Amino acid sequence: MLVQNSLSEVLRAREELFSKTNWTDPTSQLQNRVKGEELARYFLLTESEILGIQNTIRLLVSTTPYYLSLSDPSDPNCPIRRMIVPTSDESIFSEEESPDPLEEERLSPVRGLTHMYPNRVLLFSNHSCSVYCRHCMRGRKVSSSDERMEKADLENAFDYIRKHPEVDDVVVSGGDPLNLADSRLEWILKELNEIPNVKICRLGTRNPVTLPFRITNEICKVIERFNDDNLSIFCNTQFNHPRECTKEAKDAILRLLRVGVSVGNQAVLLKGINDDEEIMLDLHKKLLEMRVRAYYLYDPELIPGSRGFRTPLARGIEIVEYMRGKIGGMGIPHFVNDLPGGGGKITIGANWYLGYHPKTRQHAFRSAVTKRIHFSFEPVGSNRESYYPIISDSEWEKFQNQ
């Protein structure tokens, strides 16, 4: 049974945790992770959070002291806290939810490998993360020791890639591949580097956000060694809120950049955390200052216990629409839905293009800056007019009057 402490006791416990952790040592951070019911020592938990910790149907609960330090112990609406502490929503398996909505297991020819796109595969390299984010879309596997990838499993995955020369792009994900030992990551990158058809490797890691001290000079040297003419290595991470954009996180990003690894951000749209235009704009401005380019903004997956995080589809469209004209294009993410059933990602954008008026041979657009209607001509002799949505004469008159 969870015992609720007073605020003074919570603050004292936090101070003790932080002082006993060798702060910049990633091993010490992992050794001192806060798990499950231990959260009661470091937060003034609500009834919903107590129920969530006790009854979650999702992955294990765990956070590094560093990431815990970014959270508010007394505010249940703190965005960092919402990503650390389960609520009662996590105990409900809704009818529309699925443990594997993307059908990754159906698309897995060998253990730990998903082949959804013709030329790309996802390698599930590791079941462990520094922080088990409550919105994790791979909760059926992450944090479960049963999903540990042994060396033989990885060798089978490499054999599959070798036998499929159409595969030229490998996403190394998990879990978090940077939670692997340096030697294991070095072996994985060496194997990929030596497969002739593999030209791109993308490391999917949240450690720059949750454990930036893991991005050591040593691990960067490993990555640099295999980031060569044979293999181009990229990194995609996941900052979801401006509060995560710390000096420590920026230092980690800069270490990756110095060894030639560009970093993109894949945020997840989360109800009550970042489903706000100004928060999302502030986040991506801070990311550009950290030299991180926007990549994706994900519509949340239909995973068990996720109802507390899901937003209407319109929210993502509205947010991206709001950002256009207020930040450079490299700071605006593509809003994407990873289609249930293994349909892959599709981009969903604001409706800037309004259609085509055949009589005047003009296209109509809505400006993100002026909000007015602007016009542009189709080339003379074009044979693509049937491609465009047609603007009726009455609609055209309305546009002209605007």
Q: For the chain, which residues make up each domain, given as ranges?
A: 7-91, 113-347, 353-401
Tell me which CATH homologous superfamily contains domain 113-347.
Aldolase class I (3.20.20.70)
Between strands 200-204 and 34-35, the pairing is: unpaired
* Whether the predicted pLDDT of 2 surpasses 80: no
* Whether the predicted pLDDT of 1 surpasses 70: no
The values of phi and psi at residue 156, to 5°, are -65, -40
* Whether the predicted pLDDT of 332 surpasses 80: yes
Instruction: Give residue 46's pLDDT.
Output: 96
CA 384 to chain centre: 37
What would the mean pLDDT of 204-221 be, rounded to a whole number?
98
* Whether the predicted pLDDT of 213 surpasses 70: yes
Tens of pLDDT, residues 216-225: 999 999 999 9
Q: Determine whether the annotation assigns residue 136 to a binding site.
A: yes
Average model confidence (pLDDT) across the chain: 96
Tens of pLDDT, residues 63-72: 999 999 999 9
Q: Determine whether the annotation assigns residue 133 to a binding site.
A: yes
Q: Determine whether the annotation assigns residue 78 to a binding site.
A: no
User: Residue 202's closest CA among 175, 181, 165, 227?
Assistant: 227
Instruction: Give residue 359's pLDDT.
Output: 94
What would the mean pLDDT of 58-84 be, rounded to a whole number?
97
Tens of pLDDT, residues 343-369: 999 999 989 999 999 999 999 999 999
pTM for the model stands at 0.95
* Whether the predicted pLDDT of 313 surpasses 70: yes
What would the mean pLDDT of 135-157 be, rounded to a whole number?
94
Q: What percent of the chain has pLDDT over 70?
A: 100
- For residues 118 and 128, what is the distance between their CA atoms, to the nearest angstrom? 28
Instruction: Give residue 3's pLDDT.
Output: 74
Maximum CA pair distance of the chain? 77
Tens of pLDDT, residues 150-171: 999 999 999 999 999 999 999 9
Instruction: Give residue 11's pLDDT.
Output: 98
Model confidence at 107, pLDDT cuts 50, 70, 90, reads very high
* Whether the predicted pLDDT of 116 surpasses 70: yes
Contact 125, 150 (CB under 8 A): no
Instruction: Give residue 33's pLDDT.
Output: 98
